[in-house]
């Protein structure tokens, strides 16, 4: 690597390559992410990416890290906009943000989720970020569980919610729910059904849970 480059220059160049790779992924898909196309889009020589990344897998790892950080940033921003949110509202906001991220950045979402089954070969940086995001997601569940607000322990509830959201995202991405209003209604209905399933039923209640407000 050229000795004239400062650490700041190196980081800037790496960021340029990662940002360009993300742009190609989101606009043209993974198959379009070739070294030649990446170099051309970034305005660098074909050898430049190899000065900063060992191979394509190493580059994708950097993109994966950037994607997780983006998801975490979106989640924190969404939570910060909701003042004095309850535990369950906090949980809803985080789930909604997860779905929004997946729909706005489908290739980045796919890149993250396809890495999960291969945690034995996952880089330490990716592993640490995923663990940090998991802690962020599960925190309201843990606090709600400790306060007696949930009927499922956090680890099991987390899997139920993830399976539900991932299924919802897949239906949307595969074109089974193309209409925006239908999708929004489905997401709202799913949140309602799930909440009635994991929020404990009052012992004094003799009838089923009441219908949502306005019904």
Q: Which residue range forms the structural domain that includes residue 122? A: 84-198
Instruction: Report the C-alpha gap between 79 and 92 in whole angstroms.
Output: 10
Please check whether residue 105 lies inside any domain of the structure: yes
Please check whether residue 35 lies inside any domain of the structure: no
Look up the pTM and report it. 0.84
105 by DSSP, 3-state: which?
A: coil
Task: Convert 10-64 into a string of H (helix), E (strand) and C (coil).
Answer: HHHHHHHHHHHHHHHHHHHCHHHCCHHHHHHHHCCCCCHHHHHCCCHHHHHHHHH
Please check whether residue 126 lies inside any domain of the structure: yes
Instruction: Report the C-alpha gap between 31 and 28 in whole angstroms.
Output: 8
Q: What integer pLDDT is reported at residue 68 of this predicted model?
A: 96
Please check whether residue 111 lies inside any domain of the structure: yes
Write the pLDDT tens digit of every residue in 192-215: 888 777 877 566 544 444 444 444
Please check whether residue 133 lies inside any domain of the structure: yes
Q: How many folded domains does the chain comprise?
A: 1
Please check whether residue 150 lies inside any domain of the structure: yes
Which CATH number is 143's domain given?
Answer: 1.10.357
Please check whether residue 124 lies inside any domain of the structure: yes
Please check whether residue 181 lies inside any domain of the structure: yes
Write the pLDDT tens digit of every residue in 119-157: 777 889 999 999 999 999 999 889 888 988 888 899 999
Q: What integer pLDDT is reported at residue 192 of this predicted model?
A: 84
Instruction: Report the C-alpha gap between 34 and 117 in whole angstroms.
Output: 25
Confidence band of 84 (pLDDT split at 50, 70, 90): confident
Contact 39, 99 (CB under 8 A): no
CA distances 71 to 141, 145, 193, Å, are 19, 25, 25
């Amino acid at each position: 690597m050229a000795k004239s480059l400062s650490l700041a220059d190196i980081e800037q160049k790496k960021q340029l390559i990662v940002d360009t790779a993300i742009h190609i992924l989101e606009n043209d898909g993974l198959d379009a992410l070739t070294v030649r196309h990446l170099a051309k889009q970034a305005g660098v020589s074909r050898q430049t990416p190899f000065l900063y990344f060992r191979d394509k897998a190493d580059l994708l790892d950097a993109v994966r890290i950037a994607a997780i950080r983006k998801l975490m940033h979106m989640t924190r921003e969404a939570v910060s906009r909701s003042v004095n949110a309850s535990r369950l509202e906090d949980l809803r906001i985080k789930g909604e943000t997860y779905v929004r991220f997946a729909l706005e950045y489908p290739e980045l979402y796919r890149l993250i989720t396809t890495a999960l089954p291969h945690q034995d070969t996952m880089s330490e940086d990716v592993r640490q970020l995923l663990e940090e995001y998991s802690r962020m997601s599960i925190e309201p569940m843990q606090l709600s569980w400790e306060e007696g607000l949930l009927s499922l322990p956090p680890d099991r509830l987390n899997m139920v919610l993830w399976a539900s959201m991932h299924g919802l995202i897949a239906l949307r991405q595969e074109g089974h729910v193309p209409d925006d209003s239908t999708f929004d209604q489905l997401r709202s209905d799913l949140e309602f059904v799930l909440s009635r399933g994991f929020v404990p039923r009052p012992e004094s209640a003799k009838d089923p849970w009441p219908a949502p407000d306005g019904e």
